[in-house]
Chains A and B, each alone.
Chain A
Amino acid sequence: MAGNLAKFSTGILKGIFRNATFKPVSSVLTQKRNAHFVFKPDQPSTKFGPTEKMSYLQSLTSAMDISLREDPTTLIFGEDVAFGGVFRCTKGLRDEYGSDRVFNTPLCEQGIVGFAIGAAVAGSNVIAEIQFADYIFPAFDQIVNEAAKYRYRSGGLFECGKLTIRAPCGAVGHGGLYHSQTPESYFAHTPGLKVVIPRSPIQAKGLLLSCVQDENPCIFLEPKILYRAAEEEVPTGNYTLPLSQAEILVEGKDVTLVGYGTQIHVLKEVAELAQTQLGVSCEVIDLVTILPWDRETVCNSVAKTGRLVVSHESPHTGGFAGEIASTVQKECFLNLEAPVERVCGYDTPFPHIMEPFYIPDKWRCLSAVQRVIDY
């Protein structure tokens, strides 16, 4: 939770981790000072109508509220979602829309996803929750062999395009092996899925509504460290943001930095540090969608800067940075001035007490910028 638990009520704290015990608020506060990133809200915009200050998790609730309100077939379910969810993302929804639409399931991830696929096949709009992305693997078969291939294998006679699977992911300060993983690259290897990781409340809401409306099964990974840390002015109405479209957040000319989720906030800080400490101008790109990803935006940027650093929390080998790197070297071979640098989690399980040394923090990223400049 990296300190953000301070805002949780004690009642909520109980459910945060399976088998978790209460955490003294003091230790939580201490950890806040150690957060490995700083969230900076996007510029407020009224492009999508009136806004309201929302945290990342509130923006998700708002998206689900809209989906339940506007589509009577929408169902939301998973472990502990009825009382509001262990992260409070579904708070109030059952009371508003009834226990036949927002409900608990038995504790069984393969069942949750299988059940969700079936409901989507039968025409319901489904938002299923996996309590932590670390626990999505029991449902791997249902996601990879079933959800992803439903339309293909039936020639479109049957499909589960109305399925969205939400799962909290990523480093959280003290999550250890099973409350910290981001499994995006396992799914990136699966044709038929869309995989999305939003970095901010505005994005989280707009992209969740896009996933819900998209006619393909989507995996929606939510960096849980942002749930309470990230707050900004979020449009209150229904709006969508495009999938498979990367976003250039900071324009630059010397090095392209690509990442997604929490890592974007790290990279934005890296860009500032690179400017002030090295006099290097970085272009920061939020990939947003892992599959199918926006090759064009990334390759255009690298064609301009000639240098690329890709960074993600998940392990190096087989990580999605490898896919980006190999595509960029194919498309931008003549533009590249230095080898592509990948700054990722190490090829170990996600450790508990060693987390500060494991994550690809701003100092590791800054070193990589230095290397591509000095090459």
Chain B
Amino acid sequence: MDLRGSIEMYLNKVFRCALHQRSRTLASLNFQGKRASQIRHSTTSTVDADGVSFEPNRNFVTKLEFLEPKIEDAIPIYRVFDNAGKVIDPSQDPQFSDDTLIRMYHAMKTLNIMDQVMYDAQRQGRVSFYMTNYGEEGCHIGSAAALDDQDLVFGQYREAGVLMWRGFKLEEFMDQCYANLNDPAAGKQMPVHYGSRKLNFVTISSPLATQMPQASGAAYALKRTHPGLCVICYFGEGAASEGDAHAAFNFAATLNAPCLFFCRNNGYAISTPVGDQYKGDGIAARGPGYGMLTIRVDGNDTLAVYNATSKARQIAVAENRPVLIEAMTYRVGHHSTSDDSSAYRSVDEVDYWSRTDDPIARFFRYMVNERKCWSEVQDKAFTKDSRKKIMTAFKNAEKRNKPSPSLMFTDVYKEIPPHLQQQQKEMIDHVRAHKDHYPLDRHEPI
């Protein structure tokens, strides 16, 4: 850079500083007499007394040109194996032991069978609501396997596989969906709003994206109290349109929080296709704007998801910075049991994905063809056994009583304040006096 350029850069740095710190403008008026070397030094020294650094790049252009978003030159999708389960670049194979591969496969497959059972249960009116994970099992298991089990998970609602990987019991899933007395939250939330203190999986809530800035805050807190751990935050591409997503990215980046943002881009937010959701290059393209490391992965490639998450985790923990992972996948199932997706997308489209690009099938082919550690016969036996375990858990959960209605008043506050004690008593007295009108038979005593 020539002297003139340096001076211009310095001038502009001073100008920026001045905007922020008016009191310092006077001191900076002396710069013109300085030698070139000193000026150069000034341009690189962009940290003021408060440790605030100002943007050093002040390159000017004299040609009027708007920056065009590079949609056609999209961020590429990282992949380890193809649809046939064949590893494309052997250096990228994480070389799991057979046991680990089988464990990963078991988790995906079990989740898939549980989804079938619970979806049908909702159709039969046995649980009030359900959301399947079809087509996104690879995102869950691939990322969960790359984490430390102590890492704190903030999810949206379609990440049951993370819990499955961490050892959430089948009956724990069912107890929550059935809202029975074994649900730690006493049936207060809708089905699939799981949570586990023991497994460091923060309880799901329905409002979308609210967990995102919370994840940033939790990561910041953990950085101070439990260095070496990080937070992972899952969300869909629809939720990424919420203001809270913007807050989360910006806070995590500016406050150096070791947080992994994992976006499941499955093409739809209920009926809304991505074309109605955003105009840019997906969610990943937003990462660099916030100063975040970013990668896009094939979400149906469990090994690619694993590699990306594993590396992201290393970086986040070592460098105290957030990383954005956008996993491209496809929501094979309906949005929820309250949704019939054929109203807004073709059956052919769904068939295409479930036939040609299913994470479980791809992983199966990798295990059978590449690693030769699994077979059709083993698969049939496992499926049968798994279904049986799920049905047992299902029946047990269904049989259990619902919680005592009195628990409606617990956990509003740490303590039960006097006005709530009074309302609790009023409810109990009322229900006792009008027993016939309330479904007391399935509940624990009031």
Within 8 A of B (CB), among A94-138: 99-100, 103, 105-106, 108, 110-111, 113-124, 126, 138
Check A151/B217 contact, CB under 8 A, given A157-B196, A292-B418.
no
Q: Which residues of B contact A99 (CB under 8 A)?
A: 51
Please tell me the number of chain B residues within 8 Å of chain A, measured between CB atoms: 51
- Complex interface bits, A178-210 against B, C-beta within 8 A gives 1, otherwise 0: 000000000000011010000000000000000
A161 to B414, CA, bound (A): 8
Check A141/B207 contact, CB under 8 A, given A106-B251, A158-B195, A295-B418.
yes
- On whether the beta carbons of B247 and A110 are closer than 8 Å, the reply is yes
Q: Is B56 an interface residue (CB 8 A)?
A: no
User: Among the interface residues B51, B213, B216, which one has the most CB atoms of the partner chain A within 10 A?
Assistant: B213
User: Among the interface residues B219, B224, B254, which one has the most CB atoms of the partner chain A within 10 A?
Assistant: B224
Q: Is A67 an interface residue (CB 8 A)?
A: no
Shortest A166–chain B CB gap in Å is 16
- On whether the beta carbons of B417 and A292 are closer than 8 Å, the reply is yes
A139 to B113, CA, bound (A): 40
User: Among the interface residues B197, B250, B254, B255, which one has the most CB atoms of the partner chain A within 10 A?
Assistant: B255
B-contacting 9-mer, from A142-150, A257-265, A353-361: A142-150
- On whether the beta carbons of A115 and B213 are closer than 8 Å, the reply is yes
User: Among the interface residues A103, A126, A155, which one has the most CB atoms of the partner chain B within 10 A?
Assistant: A155
- On whether the beta carbons of A295 and B203 are closer than 8 Å, the reply is no
Please tell me the number of chain A residues within 8 Å of chain B, measured between CB atoms: 52
A114 to B219, CA, bound (A): 12
A155 to B414, CA, bound (A): 10
- On whether the beta carbons of B183 and A155 are closer than 8 Å, the reply is yes
Within 8 A of B (CB), among A22-77: 73, 75
Shortest B176–chain A CB gap in Å is 10
- On whether the beta carbons of A149 and B205 are closer than 8 Å, the reply is yes
A-contacting 9-mer, from B136-144, B185-193, B307-315: B185-193
Q: Which residues of A contact B214 (CB under 8 A)?
A: 114-115, 117-118, 121, 146
Q: Is B111 an interface residue (CB 8 A)?
A: no
User: Among the interface residues A82, A114, A153, which one has the most CB atoms of the partner chain B within 10 A?
Assistant: A114
Q: Which residues of B contact A153 (CB under 8 A)?
A: 185, 188-189, 193, 203, 205
- On whether the beta carbons of A73 and B221 are closer than 8 Å, the reply is yes
Partner of A118, one of B185, B216, B411, B417: B216
Q: Which residues of A contact B207 (CB under 8 A)?
A: 141, 145-146
Q: Which residues of B contact A159 (CB under 8 A)?
A: 414
Partner of B413, one of A73, A118, A216: A216
Q: Is B152 an interface residue (CB 8 A)?
A: yes
Q: Is B246 an interface residue (CB 8 A)?
A: yes
- On whether the beta carbons of B195 and A122 are closer than 8 Å, the reply is no
Within 8 A of B (CB), among A320-335: none
- On whether the beta carbons of A73 and B217 are closer than 8 Å, the reply is no
- On whether the beta carbons of B244 and A122 are closer than 8 Å, the reply is no
A50 to B192, CA, bound (A): 55
Q: Is A215 an interface residue (CB 8 A)?
A: yes
- On whether the beta carbons of B419 and A108 are closer than 8 Å, the reply is no
Q: How many interface contacts (CB-CB < 8 Å) are there between A and B?
A: 166
- On whether the beta carbons of B183 and A110 are closer than 8 Å, the reply is no
Within 8 A of A (CB), among B50-73: 50-51
Report the nearest A residue to B422, measured CB to CB. A295
Q: Which residues of A contact B215 (CB under 8 A)?
A: 118
Shortest B259–chain A CB gap in Å is 9
Report the nearest B residue to A142, measured CB to CB. B210
- On whether the beta carbons of A123 and B225 are closer than 8 Å, the reply is yes
A2 to B318, CA, bound (A): 51
A166 to B154, CA, bound (A): 26
Q: Is B248 an interface residue (CB 8 A)?
A: yes
Q: Which residues of A contact B254 (CB under 8 A)?
A: 105-106
A141 to B188, CA, bound (A): 19
Q: Which residues of A contact B216 (CB under 8 A)?
A: 111, 114-115, 118
A30 to B371, CA, bound (A): 84
Q: Which residues of B contact A117 (CB under 8 A)?
A: 213-214, 217
A145 to B222, CA, bound (A): 24
Q: Which residues of A contact B219 (CB under 8 A)?
A: 118, 122
A4 to B361, CA, bound (A): 71
A100 to B221, CA, bound (A): 10
Shortest B399–chain A CB gap in Å is 21
Q: Which residues of A contact B205 (CB under 8 A)?
A: 145-146, 149, 153
User: Among the interface residues B23, B154, B411, which one has the most CB atoms of the partner chain A within 10 A?
Assistant: B411
User: Among the interface residues A146, A153, A215, which one has the most CB atoms of the partner chain B within 10 A?
Assistant: A153
- On whether the beta carbons of A111 and B185 are closer than 8 Å, the reply is no
Q: Which residues of A contact B251 (CB under 8 A)?
A: 105-106, 108, 111, 114-115
Shortest A247–chain B CB gap in Å is 17
Q: Which residues of B contact A152 (CB under 8 A)?
A: 185, 188, 411-412
Q: Is B218 an interface residue (CB 8 A)?
A: yes
- On whether the beta carbons of B185 and A122 are closer than 8 Å, the reply is no
Report the nearest B residue to A94, measured CB to CB. B50
Shortest beta-carbon contacts, A-B, top 7: A114-B213, A118-B217, A111-B247, A118-B214, A155-B185, A115-B217, A154-B203
A residues contacting B by CB (< 8 A) are 11, 73, 75, 82-83, 99-100, 103, 105-106, 108, 110-111, 113-124, 126, 138, 141-142, 145-146, 149-159, 161, 191-192, 194, 215-216, 244, 292, 295-296
A selection of 13 A-B contacts at a CB cut-off of 8 Å is A73-B225, A111-B216, A111-B247, A114-B210, A114-B212, A115-B220, A118-B217, A141-B210, A146-B205, A146-B207, A152-B188, A152-B411, A292-B417
Known contacts A108-B250, A145-B210, A161-B414; 19 additional CB pairs below 8 A are A11-B23, A113-B213, A114-B210, A114-B247, A115-B251, A118-B216, A119-B218, A119-B221, A124-B221, A124-B225, A142-B210, A142-B213, A152-B411, A152-B412, A153-B188, A154-B184, A156-B184, A194-B413, A292-B417
